[in-house]
Amino acid sequence: MKTLRDPVHGDIQLSDLEIEVMDTPEFQRLRGIRQLGTSYLVFPGAQHTRFEHSVGTCWLLKQLVKEINQRAGTLSKPPIDAEMRDFLSLAALLHDITHIPFGHTLEDERRILPAHDKNKARLNYFLETPGLGRVLAESGYRDQLVTFFSEGKQWRPEYGFDLVAGPICADLLDYMKRDAFFCGLKLDYDSRLFRYLSIEGDRLCFNLYSGRGFRQDAWTELINLLRMRFHLTERVYFHHAKVAAGAMISRLLEELLLHDAFELQELYELQDDSFMYLLGKRVSKVRPFKPLWDAIRARRLYQRVYMVGRDPLVPDFPPQEFMDRVQDQFHLNKHSARSELEKHIAKALRVPQCAVILYAPDTAMNLKEASVTVRVDSGPLVQLSEFHHPELDALRNGHRAIWRFYLFLDRAYEHKALKAAQLLEDELGLPNQLELMHRGQLTFRF
């Protein structure tokens, strides 16, 4: 057993096996992968990495199990025994082991690479390496971990995956607290909410019912957590400058992949700095994209020249057919529609192809935490998303309204911004909302 000092949680105790796992080269690689990707270009303190987040998630998993077992003190056998606790703690420690540099940007936003948690080949690569793979094999946990991460929500008992990566889980509880701390935001939740979690049957649930009636205190803590998640999403995860930087990096990598100048498996060995170094070295293989690399290196972020977003004051805007088109053509890039439109706009503007980037995140933008299983009375368990409450509805709608579709343009061609915006207006049939946003008219009607 070892004790580590964590800036967010204080003293953290780790088992000998967990320390042995942490000391492998594969886990140490996480020290060089920032938790928030390009957010450090906006929030200078956001230098924290997947390493300390993984350690914090492992610790919080143990705290959640401890609280759940203590609350079930009247039972002859605790809901989660020591063997299950040790396994889930290890799963929590390793939940980000397959992450690559700027992973969420490359996998979830530009979608040029498969998601880290849906790629069994990548999972096997990391869990079968000479370092980490050997430690896990000797511990007897390797096959069990492969099954756990491969099956995800289908793994049984169901509460196991929920504790590690569910709607309200150790992963979420660590990264929200850690991200707020290192971004310098005065946001937090109260650890009191741990006491409202319990195991019922095979499921993890949040108790809004005490046996004597509805618990307003539990509801307040839950809403505070959802509010914190919303604020982080709006202020950090989808900050327009962070998004622009990520779009630029992913566009350059996409071009290198198209020209066979980069291979996916190379990313498994890289950290943020070595990845950026290789981008700079290999841009010579795609010479027309050298200006994009120069802009990235100098933090000369592309400017927004066109934007369409969900309007919380107009429920049916944008139209569903527009959202479907954006999802298929520009988020998923079906039939290379996004790439072709970028080329078309660049040609019409008479600018280099690398000067134009479309950004289209997943249109779903659901507040995942609102799908948590809850107990509200003595009846069956339900999902929180089945209920309506003014503040809950406002948070859900506000979270969906964070979604933005952007056209980014190299600032060297800002004199062509109006023409670029007009081209996209004509193509998509929807007006540019940037000016409305700058005037605050997407927030208020006046």
Which residue ranges make up each domain of the chain? 2-207, 303-446
The pLDDT of residue 254 is 97
The pLDDT of residue 78 is 75
The pLDDT of residue 1 is 87
Written as one letter, the residue type at 61 is: L
Residue among 84, 102, 85 at smallest CA distance from 38: 102
- The low-confidence residues of the chain, meaning pLDDT below 50, are none
Say how many C-beta atoms besides its own lie within 10 A of residue 423's C-beta: 20
Give CA separation, 5 vs 35, 55, 86, in Å: 19, 11, 21
Written as one letter, the residue type at 290 is: K
Pair of tokens at residue 396:
């859900």
Q: At what angle do helices 390-400 and 216-232 cross, to 10 degrees?
A: 20
Give CA separation, 254 vs 109, 110, 243, 444, in Å: 12, 9, 16, 38
Instruction: Please check whether the domain covering 2-207 is classified as CATH 1.10.3210.10.
Output: yes
